């Protein structure tokens, strides 16, 4: 047989594969993935060659060297003689603190603003509108600098601190609070608290099943509050208050003892939360208005009051619209925390991506670490929100 005759079946196979829609889609994705991988390989290889040309190599051994700088807020043991790796861990913890506390506060404020924007009260509606428009149209960095300036210049010096029950003191150098010293029996209280959380999650699911099948309503909030707060609090007093508190004391020019929340953390937390809450408020408003008004009318026809209609009928349906854009706002608040360096808050950008980078000259290694950390945070948040979004999506029968 001729060579032309042999190649004809091969061309026919390739043609059939290419004309098949699913097969063609897979082939295009493989080619695209290979092209992207080749581009990244070329960029990394080019960077390595250029670094070698100026006498530099990729080396992460600097992480074991002493950091030689102080960090104001640390939740783990750290001194200037600790390693750059320990400084990086401190920066990661500080970043996660801002992200977690910011997401929590901005969600509460955002949902409140979203509901207020739909209020029939003219003053309440307009105040929420003015707040949202003002906050969204001013750069977040200006909010951070403004709130930090107010805290530093408006609050008193430690000598004239605002006294809260002779136990907490608010100054321009931070909020000084009593520090708990846990005794052995406290772990029993903590165990009851964890059991209360597990019970509340189970009871919420159980109450929902009962309500869906019979219409019977259980006061889930109050029962959960009793399990999580009430029972551990009763056990706490029965066991003789197994916590000793170390009260801050003014010594010299500042308070010593206890624990302190730095003004940089407070300013960054409030600024990012209030800024992100303005966007979340509009997302919540859009989600609620997207739910058909007939749902509210049907709920009213059954005699359900307005607050219960909002929590049982409107919000569950609106969440399916709210969650996807809400994920983007959670990612934004995490990434915007990198602006902390403007007011001296030591996050991962200020530690491993700032001072450590300048001291060691390992810009490629430090920036790679920072990029991978932010990528990891973003992927974790996205994964959780995507899981939650699938969990609440409408199930078709």
Q: What is the CATH number of the domain that holds 341?
A: 1.10.3720.10
Same domain flag for 169 and 318: yes
Look at residues 396, 281, 383, 372 and name the one whose alpha carbon lies nearest to residue 327: 383
- Kindly indicate the confidence band of residue 22, based on its pLDDT and cuts at 50, 70 and 90: confident
Structure-model confidence comparison of residues 3 and 210, the more confident one: 210
Split into its structural domains, the chain has a count of 3
Alpha carbons 193 and 251: distance in angstroms, whole number: 36
Range of the domain at 25: 3-53
Same domain flag for 228 and 351: no
78-115 per-position pLDDT tens digit:
888 889 999 999 999 999 999 999 999 999 999 999 98
Does residue 384 belong to any structural domain of this protein?
yes
Same domain flag for 173 and 183: no
Look at residues 269, 223, 214 and name the one whose alpha carbon lies nearest to residue 99: 269
Same domain flag for 143 and 269: yes
pLDDT confidence of residue 375: 93
Same domain flag for 266 and 378: yes
Alpha carbons 178 and 180: distance in angstroms, whole number: 6
pTM: 0.79
Does residue 65 belong to any structural domain of this protein?
no
Look at residues 266, 280, 268 and name the one whose alpha carbon lies nearest to residue 132: 280
**Cα dihedral 161, 164, 166, 169 sign:** negative
Does residue 321 belong to any structural domain of this protein?
yes
Same domain flag for 183 and 173: no
Same domain flag for 98 and 235: no
Across the range 243-251, mean pLDDT stands at 83
Alpha carbons 71 and 54: distance in angstroms, whole number: 33
Look at residues 370, 349, 347, 354 and name the one whose alpha carbon lies nearest to residue 102: 347
Does residue 109 belong to any structural domain of this protein?
yes
Look at residues 352, 347, 346, 345 and name the one whose alpha carbon lies nearest to residue 334: 347
Does residue 252 belong to any structural domain of this protein?
no
Decide if 285 contacts 117 (C-beta within 8 A).
Answer: yes
- Kindly indicate the confidence band of residue 28, based on its pLDDT and cuts at 50, 70 and 90: confident
- Residue 26: Cβ within 10 Å count: 11
Same domain flag for 194 and 162: no
Q: Is 259 helix (H, G, I), strand (E, B) or coil?
A: strand
Does residue 63 belong to any structural domain of this protein?
no
Alpha carbons 314 and 296: distance in angstroms, whole number: 7
Across the range 74-80, mean pLDDT stands at 85
Among 17-21, 62-66, 105-109, 284-288, the minimum mean pLDDT is found in 17-21
- ∠ at Cα 358 (356, 359), nearest 5°? 65
Same domain flag for 268 and 353: yes
Same domain flag for 276 and 326: yes
Same domain flag for 184 and 172: no
Does residue 197 belong to any structural domain of this protein?
yes
Average model confidence (pLDDT) across the chain: 85
Look at residues 105, 104, 112 and name the one whose alpha carbon lies nearest to residue 281: 112
pLDDT confidence of residue 6: 46
- Kindly indicate the confidence band of residue 259, based on its pLDDT and cuts at 50, 70 and 90: confident
- Give the list of residues 6+ apart from residue 256 with CB closer than 8 angstroms, or none: 248, 249, 250
Across the range 313-318, mean pLDDT stands at 82
Across the range 303-308, mean pLDDT stands at 74
Decide if 92 contacts 377 (C-beta within 8 A).
Answer: no
pLDDT confidence of residue 91: 92
Same domain flag for 268 and 351: yes
Whose structure tokens read 């290889």? Answer: 45
In the sheet that holds 162-164, the strands lie side by side as 162-164, 168-171, 174-177, 259-261
- Residue 211: Cβ within 10 Å count: 14
Does residue 73 belong to any structural domain of this protein?
no
Decide if 204 contacts 221 (C-beta within 8 A).
Answer: no
């Amino acid at each position: 047989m001729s060579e032309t005759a042999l190649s004809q079946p091969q061309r026919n196979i390739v043609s059939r594969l290419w004309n098949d829609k699913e097969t063609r889609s897979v082939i295009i994705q493989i080619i695209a993935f290979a092209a992207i991988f080749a581009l990244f390989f070329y960029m990394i290889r080019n960077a390595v060659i250029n670094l070698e040309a100026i006498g530099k190599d990729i080396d992460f051994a600097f992480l074991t060297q002493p950091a030689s700088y102080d960090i104001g807020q640390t939740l783990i043991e750290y001194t200037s003689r600790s390693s750059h790796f320990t400084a990086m861990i401190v920066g990661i913890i500080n970043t996660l603190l801002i992200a977690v506390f910011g997401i929590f506060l901005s969600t509460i404020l955002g949902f409140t603003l979203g509901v207020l924007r739909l209020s029939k009260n003219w003053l309440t509606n307009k105040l929420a509108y003015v707040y949202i428009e003002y906050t969204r149209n001013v750069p977040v960095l200006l909010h951070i600098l403004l709130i930090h300036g107010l805290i530093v210049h408006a609050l008193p010096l430690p000598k004239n601190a605002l006294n809260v029950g002779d136990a907490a003191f608010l100054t321009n150098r931070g909020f000084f609070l009593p520090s708990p010293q846990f005794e052995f029996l406290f772990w029993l209280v903590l165990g009851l608290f964890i059991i209360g959380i597990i019970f509340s999650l189970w009871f919420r699911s159980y109450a929902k099943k009962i309500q869906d099948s019979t219409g019977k309503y259980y006061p889930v909030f109050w029962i959960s509050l009793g399990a999580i707060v009430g029972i551990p609090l009763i056990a706490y007093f029965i066991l003789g208050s197994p916590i000793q508190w170390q009260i801050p004391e003014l010594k010299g020019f500042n308070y010593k003892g206890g624990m302190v929340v730095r003004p940089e953390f407070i300013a960054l937390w409030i600024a990012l939360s209030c800024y992100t809450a303005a966007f979340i408020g509009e997302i919540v408003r859009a989600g609620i208005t997207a739910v058909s008004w007939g749902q509210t009318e049907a709920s009213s026809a059954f005699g359900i009051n307005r607050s219960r209609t909002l929590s049982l009928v409107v919000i569950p349906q609106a969440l399916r619209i709210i969650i996807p854009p809400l994920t983007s706002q959670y990612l934004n608040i995490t990434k915007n925390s990198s602006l902390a360096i403007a007011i001296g808050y030591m996050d991962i950008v200020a530690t491993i991506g700032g001072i450590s980078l300048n001291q060691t000259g390992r810009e490629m290694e430090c920036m790679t670490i920072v990029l991978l950390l932010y990528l990891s945070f973003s992927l974790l948040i996205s994964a959780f929100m995507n899981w939650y979004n699938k969990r609440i999506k409408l199930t078709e029968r």
